[in-house]
Amino acid sequence: MIRTYQAEHGGMVFNSGLTRRQKVRRNRMTALMVISAIAASAGLLQHFHDNPASGGPTMSDSGAYFAAR
């Protein structure tokens, strides 16, 4: 009953899934977006770490250990 109603009124009877090529492309695009988001957030954090916005003088050795330096 429902299938015939959808078919008569222009609806899709069977919803086909994605092809292998479409899945691979979607996975690659998702991976690129995740990599670019992580790179942008890392760059933003590094920018704030290298350029502290403080009003007073800072000590060169604050006693904190940073592995990147």
- Dump pLDDT digits (tens) for 2-21: 566 666 766 665 667 889 99
**How confident is the model at residue 42, as a pLDDT?**
94
The reply to whether 68 falls in a domain is no
Asked, for residue 31, whether it belongs to a domain, the answer is yes
Q: Residue 32 domain-assigned?
A: yes
What's the domain count of the chain?
1
Q: Could you tell me if residue 39 is inside a domain? A: yes
Phi, psi (deg, nearest 5) at residue 25: -65, -40
- pLDDT cut 70: percent of the chain above it: 54
Q: What is the C-alpha to C-alpha distance for residues 29 and 22, in angstroms, rounded to an integer?
A: 10
Report yes or no on 30 lying in a domain.
yes
Length of the chain: 69
Provide CB contacts within 8 A for 18, sequence distance 6+.
26
Q: Is residue 35 situated within a structural domain?
A: yes
Residue 41 counted as domain residue: yes
pLDDT value for 17: 84
